[in-house]
Amino acid sequence: MSFSLRDKNAILFDMDGVLYDSMPNHSKAWSLAMERYGMHMSPHDVYMNEGATGHDTVVRISLRDRGFEARQREIDDIYGYKASLFRSMPEACVMPGAQDVFRKAAAAGLKILIVTGSGQKNLIERVQKDFEGFITRDRMVTAFEVKRGKPYPDPYLKGLEIAGVPATEAVVIENAPLGIRAAVAAGIDTIAVNTGPLEDEILLAEHPVLLMHSMQELADRLETLL
Ligand code: MG
Distance 33 CA to ligand 1 centre (A): 20
Stated length of the chain = 226
Q: Per-residue pLDDT for 13 more than 60?
A: yes
The Cα 202–Cα 207 span in angstroms is 10
Distance 19 CA to ligand 1 centre (A): 8
Three-state DSSP at 184 gives helix
pTM of this structure: 0.94
pLDDT value of residue 57: 94
pLDDT value of residue 220: 97
Q: Average the pLDDT over 65-84 and give the result.
A: 95
Q: Predicted confidence band at 71 (pLDDT cuts at 50, 70, 90)?
A: very high
Contact, 226 vs 108, CB < 8 A? yes
Distance 40 CA to ligand 1 centre (A): 21
Contact, 222 vs 97, CB < 8 A? no
150-178: b (≥16 Cβ within 10 Å) or e: bbbbbbbbbbbebbebebebbbbbbbbbb
Distance 167 CA to ligand 1 centre (A): 20
Give pLDDT tens digits for 14-31. Answer: 999 999 999 999 999 999
Q: Average the pLDDT over 145-169 and give the result.
A: 97
Q: Per-residue pLDDT for 1 more than 80?
A: no
Distance 101 CA to ligand 1 centre (A): 16
Q: Which residues pair with residue 193 across a beta bridge?
A: 212
Q: Per-residue pLDDT for 164 more than 80?
A: yes
Contacts of 31 (CB under 8 A, 6+ apart): 40, 41, 42, 43, 46
pLDDT value of residue 119: 85
More confident residue, 122 or 107: 107
Distance 18 CA to ligand 1 centre (A): 6
Q: Predicted confidence band at 91 (pLDDT cuts at 50, 70, 90)?
A: very high
Three-state DSSP at 131 gives coil
Concatenated DSSP letters for 7-43?
A: T--EEEE--BTTTB--HHHHHHHHHHHHHHTT----H
Average confidence score pLDDT of the chain: 96
Give pLDDT tens digits for 114-131. Answer: 999 888 888 999 999 999
Distance 116 CA to ligand 1 centre (A): 7
In the chain, % of residues over pLDDT 90: 94
**Considering only CA atoms, which of 15, 52, 7 is closest in space to residue 174?**
15
